[in-house]
Structures are given as structure tokens and as C-alpha cells.
Amino acid sequence: MPQSPSLSAAARRSLSVVSVVSLAILASGLYFAPERAWSNLLAAALFLLTIGLGGTLFLALALITGAGWHVAFRRVPEAMAMIVPLTGGALLVVLALGAQYYAWHPHGDVGTFWFKQFWLTPMFWFARSAAYVIIWSVLGALLVYRSRKQDTAPVNVQQHTGNVRLAAIFLAVYAITFSLASVDWLMALDPMWYSTIWGIYNFAGMMVATLAVIVILCIVLSAPGRPLHGVFTTEHLHDLGKLLLSFSCFWMYIWFSQYMLIWYANIPEETSHFVTRTIGPWGPVVVASLVLNWLAPFFILLPRPSKRSRSVMLRVAVLILVGRWVDVWLMIFPSTLGDTPAFGIWELAAIACVVTAAPLLLARSFASAPPVPVHDPFLPESLHYHA
Amino acid sequence: MSSRVLIATFDHEDDLLAATTAVRERGLRIMDVYTPYAVHGLDRAMGLKPSRLTWVCFVCGMAGALGMLWFEHWTAAIDWPIDVGGKPWFALPSDAPVAFEAAVLLAGFGTVFALFGVARMWPGKQPRKIYPRTTDDRFVLVIGETNAAFDVQSVEQMLTKYDVLKVEEQLVT
């Protein structure tokens, strides 16, 4: 297997410079425009963390469904899973820096319900957040570690059963902790509003973005001369395209489920979320989010040839990542900044930071293992796969 | 109209795939291939064109969605306007679920019935049993004898390369 670095030294250097500079700009923003800079930091950290966590989720789902098709490119979601500790740590730093932007902090307005007051106690809130990140990091690292152990020793059935069991544990833990995390980190920005579908809505957005990142990385890494060339085939791309299409529809479905029930019932304490977002200057941003995350990908990805075309899939994946950014933005900014959207140096710095930090982190973790899990029992199946 | 066909029986899916590709590349006419289960890659080996059913599905789905949106608009806003909780006469959020269901329903049924129509299947139709063991463990490739110059011997010889079990001629109607 040819092992060539996926990023050249020059590219690595310029990416590092841009990401450090943009991070420094954002850090200085905490002094000049604290609310906006902090909101951008939260969006950036959340965006990166959910991509990493999505990689772990993809691995666990594949293991528990007994999937063999993905093994040829499994090192890609594994590389994503490995960025969870770092991005999760970054998110915890952001939370620690900005606890005062959560409306309930320090003696805010959370209503009179005793459980809510207890649940949103700042120390408990932060300890919980740290616990989520630690749990995800440990379980993800275990999944990756066990997969890499297969590279050196022949695999036995017990080992594979153990992997499946670990994946099952991760999925159960993930379902609960991620729901709670999305409530703690995003819904708590506006503590008087609540939606019981919030957790799954965040899961849907995370899954679409994860698949888009897997598609981009696989296409880039399978270019001629790159480690996955000839290993990641059009058949794999086709299946990723199907998943991307279906999860894009799933995101739209969940978005609509949340919107329609709130619109129908028309209870003021529930509608506040959508009143801020759909009426006034945020309205066009919501429309852009729907077009980027569902409408455009849906019609582009529907025909079979576009799911088998590298250039089309690459563009749709980028489109969806832009949509995911707008989606994250819409969850955070109207709550922290109010009715008027703003776009300027802080927003640009956050985007620059994510766009440069993601390839750096992912390339580093991808290069730390052989690019193909050579001893995996499902590898032959994956290499001869027909979609 | 009846025609003569050559029926080649195989034991393994790999042999069948290779033989089908070879037969197609030789320019012979593949009438059909019978297998006990769906063999991946067979459509490519037979040189089948991409299915047009996807277009039927898309058009039916769009017709279902748009037709139902129009119908909901007509019933709730034009023919007999109903005030539901002070919502607008024609409100997209409340109409979308039904439009979605109609799209799924029409796309599903439309595709299935289009498939039945194209494949000439209807209730009570007798299946054509070329070789009964294709429902169990045998793979059958049916080659059409398109003209008098069809050389059975040479085709048979070619197929032995792919471990053909037996080759026989049959008159089908």
C-alpha cells in the first residue's frame, strides 16, 4: 500500500498559519465584540466536534448493522473519530469562557420549575458537558484502537463480537448524551423555549455533515497517487451518495416536524424560537438553510449518475457543509445576538478557522495508521462491492 | 411466432457472469438470464440499459405532491373555505404532510404498476418455466438463434470455457 502524506509540508504550513491567525482574531474578538466572537467560537467548536463525533457514530452504526461495504474507506471515519478529544476540549474551553452568555447565568431567568433551576446550575452544567466529551472520546478511542489492533494480528471471531458489543454500548450512550448535550449547549441559550425534538434535529444535522465530510475526504484521498486510489471506488461513492440523499431528507423531515407542530399549536412560549428566526431579517437565512441542506441536494442527488460522479458529489458535499454552517449559525446567533443577523470579520475568522483546522486535524489522524484495514474480515467483500 | 433458443445451464454465478459477458461481446442475442437470486453485476454483463422506471417514479411523485397541494387549496380555500384556528386559508405547513403522503403513494404504486406493465405481468399469468432448477440452484442463459447462420456447435464450444453444465436447443413460443 503506497503511503504518501495526504498534505504536503507547504500546505500544512499555510493551513496552520491561517488557522492560528483566525483563532487569534477570534480570541481578540472576545475583547472587542465579546458576544459575536464567542458565538462564532461556539459555532466553530460545535461544527468540528460534531463532525468528529459523526465519524464515531458512522463506525458504530456500520459495526452493529454488520456492514461490510465501508471497510475499504473505514480509516476515514476513524480519522474523524480521533479528532473528538481535541475539538471537544476546545468546545469545553469555549463553554467555560462564555457561560455568562447563557441567559440563565449567573442568576438568570429560568422560570420557577425546580428541576430546571437545578439542572442549569452552572457547575453541574459544566461538569455534565465535560462528562459528555470524555465519554465520547473514550468510547471513540476504544473503537479506533480495536480496529487498529486488527492490522497486526489475525482477527478472531471473539474480537469482532467485542467490537460489535462496544458499538452497541456507544450507540445507547450516544443517543442519551448527545440529546442532553444539544439541549445543554444550544437550547439553553434561550432557556424559556423548549422543543422535545431538538436532540434528534441536532443528530440529523450532524449526520448529514458527517456524510458530506466522509465524501469529500474519500474523493480527495482516492485521487491518483493518493492512498485510497483504486480502493475507494464508484460503488462506495454511490452508496455514500444514497446515504447523503436520505439523511438530507431526514434533516428536512425533522426540521419540518419541529416547525409544523409549533406553527399549528401556536403557543407563545413555543413560537418565540421561530418568530425570531422566520419573521424579519433572519427569514432569508432560514430559507437559505432549507435550500442548502435539502432542496438543492435533493434534486441534484436524485438521478443515479450524479451519485456516481466525483465532481457532482464533491460539490454537493461542499454545499451541504455550507448548509450545516448556516444551520448551526441559526441555532446560536438569533439566541445570543437577537433579531439582526451580522456578518463581518468575526464570522469570516470562524469560517477560516474551521476550513483550515479540519484538514489539518483530519490529515494528521489519517496518517497515523495504515490507510486500509488490511486484516479486516470484511475487506474482500468491500473491495468487490457492487452498489 | 415461435423461435429456436439455446439454453445454457451453469452451476456458479461467476461462470454465468463471464459467459454472459462473452456472449454479448460476440454479438449474440441474449433473450434472458434466469437465476435463483439477484446476481449483482448481471445487468452490466447483459448490457442492459439503465432502467427508465426512475423517471416514472419521479413524475408520479411530483404529480402526487403538486396534485394534492392543488386539491387541498381548492377544497380548503376556494370551494368551501374553512377557518382552522385562525390560520390562513391556504397554509403550506398544514398541507405539506398530506402532499408528502400523496407523493409517496403515487410514486410507490406508479412504479410498481409500471414495472408490472413493462414486464407484462398480471394476475393469473402463467410463468414461463425455461428450466425449473433456476428456482433452486442453477443459472440459465438463454441465447436467441436469430438466423439460419447461427452456429450451435461453435457457441457450445465457446461456452465450455465457462464450465457450462449442458447446452440444449428448445422451441419457445
Q: B9 and B37: one domain?
A: yes
Other Cβ atoms closer than 10 A to A76: 26
Q: Give a yes or no: residue B127 inside a domain.
A: no
Q: For residue A29, which of A86, A102, A97 has the smallest C-alpha distance? A: A97
Q: Give a yes or no: residue B123 inside a domain.
A: no
Taking only the tens place, the pLDDT of each residue in B132-146 is 888 888 999 998 887
Whether residue B105 has pLDDT greater than 70: yes
Q: Give a yes or no: residue A376 inside a domain.
A: no
Q: B76 and B110: one domain?
A: yes
Q: How far is A269 from chain B (nearest CA, A)?
A: 17
Residues 64-83 of A with CB under 8 A from B: none
Q: Give a yes or no: residue A369 inside a domain.
A: no
Structural domain range at position B75: 53-118
Q: Give a yes or no: residue A97 inside a domain.
A: yes
Q: Do B93 and A266 touch (CB under 8 A)?
A: no
Answer whether B140's CB lies under 8 Å from B9's CB. yes
Q: How far is B92 from chain A (nearest CA, A)?
A: 10
Distances from the Cα of A358 to the Cα of A49, A84, A281, A311, B21, angstroms: 10, 12, 31, 21, 45
Give me the phi and psi of A38, to 5 degrees please. -65, -40
Answer whether B45's CB lies under 8 Å from B19's CB. no
pLDDT reported for residue A238? 95
Q: Give a yes or no: residue A68 inside a domain.
A: yes
Q: Give a yes or no: residue B42 inside a domain.
A: yes
pLDDT reported for residue B156? 86
Q: Do B85 and A264 touch (CB under 8 A)?
A: yes
- ipTM for this model: 0.81
Q: B88 and B106: one domain?
A: yes
The residue of A295, A302, A306, A308 whose CB has the most chain B CBs within 10 angstroms, and thus the best one to mutate to test that interface, is A302
Alpha helix (H) ranges present in A150-197? 157-185
pLDDT reported for residue A109? 62
Q: Give a yes or no: residue A105 inside a domain.
A: yes
Q: B65 and B12: one domain?
A: no
Q: What's the domain count of chain B?
A: 2
How far from the centroid of its chain's Cα atoms is residue B161's Cα? Answer: 30
Q: Do A260 and B96 touch (CB under 8 A)?
A: yes
Q: Which residue of chain B is at minimal alpha-carbon distance from A305?
A: B50
The helix/strand/coil state of B170 is: strand
Q: Which residue of chain B is at minimal alpha-carbon distance from A253?
A: B97
pLDDT reported for residue A3? 45
Ranges of chain A whose pLDDT falls below 70: 1-6, 103-112, 387
Q: What's the domain count of chain A?
A: 1
Other Cβ atoms closer than 10 A to A227: 21
Residues constituting chain A: 387
Taking only the tens place, the pLDDT of each residue in A102-143 is 866 655 566 667 788 788 888 899 999 999 999 999 999 999
Q: B43 and B62: one domain?
A: no
Q: Give a yes or no: residue B65 inside a domain.
A: yes
Q: B72 and B34: one domain?
A: no
Q: B70 and B44: one domain?
A: no
Structural domain range at position A124: 9-363
Q: Give a yes or no: residue B128 inside a domain.
A: no
Q: B60 and B99: one domain?
A: yes
- Contact list in B for residue A386 (CB cut-off 8 A) is 40-41
CATH code assigned at B35: 3.30.70.260
A-B contacts at Cβ under 8 angstroms: 18
pLDDT reported for residue B3? 78
Q: Do B93 and A260 touch (CB under 8 A)?
A: yes
Q: How far is B148 from chain A (nearest CA, A)?
A: 38
Burial class (CB in 10 A: 0-12, 13-18, 19+), A18: middle
Q: Give a yes or no: residue A372 inside a domain.
A: no
The amino acid sitting at A236 is H
pLDDT reported for residue A1? 38
Answer whether A195's CB lies under 8 Å from A270's CB. yes
Among residues B90, B118, B146, which one ends one of the domains? B118
> With bands split at pLDDT 50, 70 and 90, how would you rate the model's confidence at B125?
confident
Q: B74 and B40: one domain?
A: no
pLDDT reported for residue A286? 96
Q: Give a yes or no: residue A4 inside a domain.
A: no
